[in-house]
Amino acid sequence: MLDRLRHRDYKRAILNRLEGKGEAGAIPEGGSSEILFLRSLFVVMGRLAKLDGRVTEAEIDYASQVMSQLGLDPGKRQRAIDFFYHGKQPGFDVMPLIHELAASIGRSSALARQFLKIQCRLAYSKGCIRLKERLQLREIAEELGFSKAELLSICTEIQVSEDTRIRGRRSGFLSQAYRILQLAPDANDTEIRRAYRRMMSRYHPDKLAANESGDAQRHAQEQFLAVRHAYETISGFRKMVNP
């Protein structure tokens, strides 16, 4: 009875973490339920990451973010990493594990939904969910008690969220690019090219005196590269031709 209560407290605490609530609170020990949840979570992430034959830095970074979100201590974090790499093994069948997990956390439960959202977000970290990943996710979703339509709804929610985040990030890069060229965003193409040529001339290495200090030379080189990158960012956004 005590174990069952402890496991229930663990599941509630994990759900709160995954929903963005109570990050500062300690997560109670979950015993066999904790081991099963972490194993299922990271084994499936490893499986999905490897389905197209390669694991990207974005997928590894996302798995690491989930470990941090769950507040895993170093020992549990290493175990999660081992689970992730175990899931990458060729031909590994995750479905018996998902069947066991569904019995533990409940089919169609809030925690099952969060589990599925994590897997969908991992699959989307490469920019889109590919056919093999979609088929594997559909099988997992069905075992967890979710229909094809519910899975599609979750995937769409994640895609909209990620696209919004990426657009915001690009907007930040673009604003910074205008600042580097000392321009307002409403500057016309001619003004942009003129500012680019002027600042490239100012920071070009050939303009530096031979007796300039090493720090001055490094600063000029950094500025030179920053100006070039800023122009490439703006011209790419505006589809401008080269100056």
Per-residue model confidence as pLDDT tens digits over 132-161: 999 999 999 999 999 999 999 988 888 777
Pair 37, 105: CB distance under 8 Å: yes
In the 8-state DSSP scheme, what is residue 146?
-
Rounded Cα distance, 105 and 29, in Å: 16
* CATH 3.40.605.10 is right for the domain spanning 171-238: no
Q: Residues with Cβ < 8 Å from 137, sequence gap 6 or more?
A: 48, 116, 119, 120, 123, 129, 151, 155
Q: Taking a C-beta distance cutoff of 8 angstroms, is the pair 125, 59 a contact?
A: yes
In the chain, which residues fall in CATH 1.10.3680? 2-146
User: What is the maximum alpha-carbon separation in the chain?
Assistant: 80
pTM comes to 0.67
Residues recorded for the chain: 243
Token pair recorded at residue 2: 């005590």
pLDDT, one tens digit per residue, over 55-69 is 998 899 999 999 998
Token representation of residue 99: 């069947």
Top CATH class of 2-146 equals mainly alpha
| Residue 214 exposed, middle or buried by CB count within 10 Å (0-12, 13-18, 19+) | exposed
Q: How far apart are CA 25 and CA 147, in angstroms?
A: 33
Question: Which whole number is the average pLDDT over 65-82?
Answer: 92
- Residues contacting residue 44 through CB under 8 Å, at least 6 positions apart: 87, 94, 97, 98, 119, 140
Tell me where in the chain the CATH 1.10.287.110 domain(s) lie: 171-238
- For the segment 159-171, what is each residue's pLDDT rounded down to a tens digit? 777 666 656 556 6
Q: Tell me what pLDDT residue 209 has.
A: 56
